[in-house]
Amino acid sequence: MNIKSYLKDKKKEVDEYLDNLLPKTNKFPAQLHEAMRYTIFAGGKRVRPILCIASFQIFDSNYKKVLPFASALEIIHTYSLIHDDLPAMDNDSLRRGKPTNHKVYGEAKAILAADALLTFAFQTMAESSNFEDRLIKKAIFNIAKSSGYSGIVGGQFVDIDMEGKDIDLPTLEYIHTHKTGELIKTSVYSGALLAGAKDEDLDNLLKYAKWLGLTFQIVDDILDEIGDKEELGKNPGKDNHYNKFTYPSIYGIKKSKKIAEEYTQKSKNYLAKINADTSILNEISNFLLERTY
């Protein structure tokens, strides 16, 4: 299959769904809705919703049913980016080639727009009627867990707490697997869960997604050092500026690339244990390893 065409097509579908889903800017308070939409539609690869769709497709071809959950995962990801860019966090002025949300709307309104996105994501999932209630409840529970103190928030907290400090590899992996990896894991898991996957397959997909999430962040860290600003759509060199420990800062670029390759293979090994067509996830793994943005 042509993975670039697949990613492009699914991104378009997710974008169209999000456009219809999010509150319109002609409704009061208009600027809040505008700020919510601003970062959602500032670009992005839509990795998390596409992982949810691809995982769903392994067990059920009617993937349009999972679009509410896939889109909610992108909304949660976007909320985390708005917070991540704030002056109190990473203090970034550029995201996806455009000024960050707080640079356009101010800090207070950016925070509120992010809060609105996070809560709207759970409203969207709760309103879905495409699946059995027990599956919806389980999916929402796991997505909430991955978004909170045991996921994104926990990883972000430790990341900030460790700035400028010497940290060991387990702590670095905790940051990566929580700040980035948890939402990737729950994207894969929720798609398969809602499609009716068996427990054994869900377990293998969780293990696949764990190594995929680590790879994703290692590649991010490499690109932060050697990536092109125009292609990345953000300012590189952020990790060095804040004295953050990363795989490249510990192992160097060459070895970090080798580790990313090894982790990608580990992730794909778990896909091979599933008695179904996992070729899309396999190709997504290759794409995320080789990406330059």
Average pLDDT of the chain to the nearest whole number: 94
Tokens of 15: 């974008």
Residue 234 has what pLDDT?
64
pLDDT of residue 97: 86
Tens of pLDDT, residue by residue over 202-222, are 999 999 999 999 999 999 999
Partners of residue 95 on adjacent β-strands = 98
- Provide the pLDDT for residue 243: 67
**Least-confidence region, from 17-31, 129-143, 229-243, 274-288:** 229-243
How far the first Cα of the chain sits from its last, in Å, is 22
Q: In which element (H, E) is residue 40 found?
A: helix 30-40
Percent of the chain residues past pLDDT 70, beyond the cut: 95
Task: List Cα–Cα distances, 53 to 47, 186, 217, 235, 258, in angstroms.
Answer: 10, 12, 21, 30, 29
Query: What CA–CA distance (Å, rounded) separates 38 from 35?
Result: 5
At residue 286, the pLDDT reads: 96
Average pLDDT, integer, range 85-100: 93
Higher pLDDT among residues 49 and 231, named by residue: 49
User: What's the CATH class of domain 3-290?
Assistant: mainly alpha
pLDDT tens for 146-178 read 999 999 999 999 999 998 888 898 999 999 999
| Cβ–Cβ < 8 Å for 14, 43 | no
pLDDT score at 282: 97
For residue 94, report the phi and psi dihedrals to the nearest 5 degrees. Answer: -135, 135
Q: Is the pLDDT of residue 241 over 60?
A: no
pLDDT at position 166 is: 86
At residue 244, the pLDDT reads 78
Residue 47 φ then ψ, to 5°? -60, -45
Quick check: 231 pLDDT over 80?
Answer: no
pLDDT tens for residues 29-45?
999 999 999 999 998 89
**Dmax over Cα atoms in the chain, in whole Å?**
52
Domain parsing of the chain, residue ranges: 3-290
